[in-house]
Structure 1
Amino acid sequence: MSDLLYIDLMINQGTFSLNSGREPELCNNRQSIGQDVIHAILESGLATELIAERSPTLRADIFTQMELLIESDERIVPGTVVIHEETPARLWITADTDFGALSVRAEL
């Protein structure tokens, strides 16, 4: 699918990505969905809860809440979300979309 259905400003390391003309760069479809997934996690407060939680059982519950939050996005194929904890402050999130596989890194 090559239609540009979801267009957004590209964000890198918390700030807008600018081109050589100092204009904001655009991203679309899969990149836009990936950015939205990361922002949803950060804005939900689940990232803060995860960092503060030490109990493995309660951490697993937070991961489940994150998966449900991501799957609530209509652009994500339900049942395909996988979250891997690379470090306590870095997560890898994979999922399927109508535009192909999505793989994003969330820095908490």
Structure 2
Amino acid sequence: MADYIYQDILIENGDVVLDAGRNPVLIQDRAVIAQDIKHAIMESHLAVDLIAERSPSKKADIRTQLELLVEEDVRLVPGTVRLEEPTDGTIYVFAKTAEFGNLDLEVISG
């Protein structure tokens, strides 16, 4: 048996990803944490708000809300969350997991 702490089904674009045998693709550990964070951000609608907002002060507030949302995940090292938001509607999240090292993910809001 494999030594995974976390295991989940891979979800992309709201659908379960299937392999060639039509079985769900499984992800483990760091990928599970990244997927959980991405889904939390998408479900909060903060990514859409951040992309749509033009006021610098309101953008800063939404960015803080996003950072706090990500920081709630107990599998991350507190204080390591960093967000980057280029102008193309993508938000990049960088953090350090407690057990699996660095975590990099992107949330496309569109």
Opposite residue 101 of structure 1, the aligned amino acid is N
Tell me how far apart the structure 2 counterparts of residues 7 and 22 of structure 1 sit (CA, whole Å).
18
Aligned to 1:72: 72
Query: How far has the Cα of 1:89 moved from its partner?
Result: 1.4
Q: Percent identity at matched positions?
A: 48
Aligned to 2:16: 16
Query: How far has the Cα of 1:91 moved from its partner?
Result: 0.9
29-38 vs 14-23, greater mean Cα deviation: 14-23
13-22 vs 58-67, greater mean Cα deviation: 13-22
Name structure 2 gaps, 5 residues minimum. none
TM-score by length of 1: 0.91
Opposite residue 53 of structure 1, the aligned amino acid is E
Count of residue correspondences: 107
Tell me how far apart the structure 1 counterparts of residues 27 and 87 of structure 2 sit (CA, whole Å).
27
Opposite residue 48 of structure 2, the aligned amino acid is T
Q: Does 1:55 align with 2:55?
A: yes
- Classify the secondary structure of the residue corresponding to 2:91: strand
Tell me how far apart the structure 1 counterparts of residues 75 and 36 of structure 2 sit (CA, whole Å).
10
Q: Does 1:103 align with 2:104?
A: yes
Aligned to 2:5: 5
- Classify the secondary structure of the residue corresponding to 1:42: helix
TM-score by length of 2: 0.89
Query: How far has the Cα of 1:12 moved from its partner?
Result: 2.3
Tell me how far apart the structure 2 counterparts of residues 5 and 49 of structure 1 sit (CA, whole Å).
34
Residue pair 2:82, 2:93 contacting (<8 A) in 1 also: yes
Cα-Cα RMSD: 1.4
Query: How far has the Cα of 1:61 moved from its partner?
Result: 1.0
